[in-house]
Amino acid sequence: MRKTSLLILFIALNVVSCAEKTILERLFDVEKPDLAFGGMIKSSNPFQIEGDNGKRYIREKGGVGGINLKTPELEKLYGAEEIVTDSTKAILIIDFPLNKIVGYEIENKNGFNKRDLTIELSKAYSEIYAEKDKYGICCEKLSDLELKNILVFEVGEQIYLETKVESKK
């Protein structure tokens, strides 16, 4: 009976420990030199809105419109199905407007296209903004943030996706 109880406890602990981590549990601090030195840029991927004419949207005040992180209009994402990386695991690097750099572990068996990454980043920013004091966010609203670009770095076997997020203000 005792062996059976221990076996059941062991199985239960394994099941609980294998449960998928929450977004906040997948965030961790990153030092910029870890990424910038020794890494190789594989690609640069603009994230822009598609205008009514099927081309990249240009604002009247100038500049290209990025994809909003609070309410991404995925149907307007220019080149949404373009593959950013075929790697099945990657780390999204998030820094703006945080007072530190954080990494966010992501995984997708098919690699990542622009649509996938926009969804992942939107979820991550929503979670970060729910804990904005922890990340030192004071002045920017989530609704003002736009994803403009993602740089793909390869450091050893690891793929890093460095996000370029700006305020549309």
pLDDT of 10 strictly over 50: no
Residue 15: band (very low, low, confident or very high) from pLDDT cuts 50, 70, 90: very low
So where are the chain's domains?
21-167
Query: What value does the mean pLDDT take over residues 24-29?
Result: 82
Q: How confident is the model at residue 65 (pLDDT cuts 50, 70, 90)?
A: confident
d(CA 109, CA 68) in angstroms, rounded, equals 26
CA dist 160 and 164 (Å) reads 13
Q: Percentage of the chain with pLDDT > 70?
A: 76
Q: Are 64 and 51 in contact (CB under 8 A)?
A: no
At 116 the pLDDT is 96
Query: Could you read off the pLDDT of 75-112 as tens digits, one per residue?
Result: 999 999 999 999 999 999 999 999 999 999 999 999 99
